């Protein structure tokens, strides 16, 4: 017997060859890239529906609230009114678009039932969540950049801290992308994805200090405003641009991270249980 025969029989190589099999980490990375790329191409492909309307809407805000009403309001906290509200209007676009991107995309996947193919694949649920959230963050940042360019046509935006400005807008987009994911999980029909934005998100946004400083409110209503999470995001972003804020910047970061951890854990829990996904 030859030396090769003494070693015993070897398993036959598969059709792709043993060396061609990717590791678990590589497969997970490919899955994440695929979801993120799909979500990014989705809102870029229909840019006239996803990126243009926010620019038009926010331009109207700047014209009406900034240029017209702002002349009657006067300075706010030592800044021109249009300069003071510009960070809030930018955040308004980031919040609504990051939320809407995920809630519409994930619910569409549920409605068309191709989400089941993703759930039965080896893709971890965490990767699914991160992939959809990344798509929402991408759209939120794109619209934020467009609205910022629009704002520069009306006023100047002296950046007080680039690190705070960028980190706050990313954290905000992450938080509301997760919120859109949770809404999509519970939604059973298209009308359900409009309930939270209409009855929860819009009131919180407009009462979150976008157009005013809470220092103008009576003490009781200032305390009530502190329960609004959007207040911390708007003020943190305003601090990053103007250096002015109604709340401590450390508290704003703590609130954002707390909500991201809570919402993220809850979304992953729902995904693991299959809530709203298993018929």
User: What digits encode the pLDDT tens for the residues 68-77?
Assistant: 787 777 778 7
For residue 234, the enclosing domain spans 25-273
pLDDT-wise least confident of 133-142, 202-211, 259-268: 202-211
Query: Does some domain include residue 16?
Result: no
Q: What is the 3-state secondary structure (H, E, C) of the chain?
A: CCHHHHCCCCCCCCCCCHHHCCCHHHHHHHHHHHHHHHHHHHHHHCHHHHCHHHHHHHHHHHHHHHHHHHHHHCCECCECHHHHHHHHHHHHHHHHHHHHHHHHHHHHHHHCCCHHHHHCCCCCHHHHHHHHHHHHHHHHHHHHHHHHHHHCCCCCCCCCCHHHHHHHHHHHHHHHHHHHHHHHHHCCCHHHHHHHHHHHHHHHHHCCCCCCCHHHCCHHHHHHHCCCHHHHHHHHHHHHHHCCCCCCHHHHHHHHHHHHHHHHHHHHHHHHHCCCCCC
pLDDT of residue 96: 93
Least reliable range by pLDDT among 67-71, 171-175, 256-260: 67-71
Beta-bridged to residue 76, according to DSSP, are 79
The pLDDT value recorded for residue 279 is 56
Q: What mean pLDDT comes out for the span 177-185?
A: 95
- Would the pLDDT of 267 be above 90? yes
| Radius of gyration over every alpha carbon of the chain, rounded to an integer in angstroms | 23
pLDDT per position as a tens digit, 11-54: 445 554 455 566 888 888 998 999 999 999 999 999 999 999 98
Instruction: Answer whether 173's CB lies under 8 Å from 92's CB.
Output: no
Residue 226's alpha-carbon distances to 81, 210, 233, 250, in angstroms, are 22, 14, 12, 14
Mean pLDDT to the nearest integer, 195-199: 87
Comparing 276 with 237, the larger pLDDT belongs to: 237
- Over residues 51-65, the mean pLDDT reads 89
> Is 190 within the bounds of a domain?
yes
Q: How far apart are CA 91 and CA 166, in angstroms?
A: 12
Instruction: Mention every residue, 6+ apart, whose C-beta is less than 8 A from residue 141.
Output: 94, 169, 170, 173
Residue 110, in any domain of the structure: yes
Answer whether 138's CB lies under 8 Å from 39's CB. Answer: yes
Looking at residue 13, its pLDDT comes to 52
Question: Average pLDDT for residues 133-153, to the nearest whole number?
Answer: 95
- Which has the minimum average pLDDT: 61-70, 85-94, 202-211? 61-70
Say what the pLDDT of residue 27 is.
83
pLDDT score for 32: 92
Calculate mean pLDDT across residues 208-213: 87
Residue 55 domain-assigned?
yes
- Residue 21 tokens, joined: 């099999």
Share of the chain above pLDDT 90, in %: 52
Residue 131 in any domain: the answer is: yes
Total domains, the chain: 1
By percentage, how much of the chain surpasses pLDDT 70?
Answer: 91
Q: Which residue do the tokens 């308004």 mark?
A: 92
Query: For residue 66, is it within any domain?
Result: yes
What is residue 137's predicted lDDT score, i.e. its pLDDT?
A: 97
Mean pLDDT of all residues belonging to the chain: 87
Task: Summarize the confidence of residues 243-250 as an average pLDDT.
Answer: 92
Asked if residue 10 is part of any domain, the answer here is: no
Q: Is residue 265 part of a domain?
A: yes
Instruction: Return the pLDDT at 5.
Output: 42
Q: How many CA atoms lie within 13 A of 123 on its CB side?
A: 22
Question: pLDDT tier at 225 (50, 70, 90 boundaries)?
Answer: confident
């Amino acid at each position: 017997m030859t030396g090769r025969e003494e070693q015993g029989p070897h398993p036959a190589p598969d059709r792709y060859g043993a060396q061609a099999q990717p590791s678990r980490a590589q497969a997970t990375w490919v899955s994440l890239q695929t979801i993120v790329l799909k979500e990014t191409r989705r809102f870029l492909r229909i840019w006239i529906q996803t990126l243009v309307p926010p620019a038009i809407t926010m331009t109207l805000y700047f014209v009406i609230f900034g240029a017209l009403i702002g002349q009657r309001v006067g300075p706010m906290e030592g800044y021109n009114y249009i300069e003071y509200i510009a960070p809030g209007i930018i955040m308004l676009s980031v919040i609504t678009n990051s939320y809407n991107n995920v809630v519409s995309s994930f619910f569409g996947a549920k409605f068309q039932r191709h989400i089941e193919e993703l759930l039965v694949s080896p893709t971890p649920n965490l990767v699914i969540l991160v992939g959809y959230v990344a798509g929402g963050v991408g759209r939120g940042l794109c619209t934020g950049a467009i609205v910022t360019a629009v704002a520069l046509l009306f006023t100047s935006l002296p950046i007080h801290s680039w690190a705070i400005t960028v980190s706050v807008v990313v954290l905000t987009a992450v938080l509301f992308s997760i919120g859109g994911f949770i809404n999509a999980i519970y939604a059973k029909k298209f009308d359900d994805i409009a309930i939270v934005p209409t009855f929860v998100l819009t009131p919180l946004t407009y009462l979150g200090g976008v157009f005013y400083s809470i220092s103008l409110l009576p003490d009781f209503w200032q305390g009530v405003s502190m329960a609004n999470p959007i207040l911390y995001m708007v003020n943190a972003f305003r601090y990053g641009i103007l250096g002015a804020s109604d709340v401590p910047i450390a508290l704003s970061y703590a609130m954002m991270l707390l909500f991201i951890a809570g919402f993220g854990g809850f979304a992953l829990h729902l995904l693991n249980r299959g809530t709203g996904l298993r018929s």
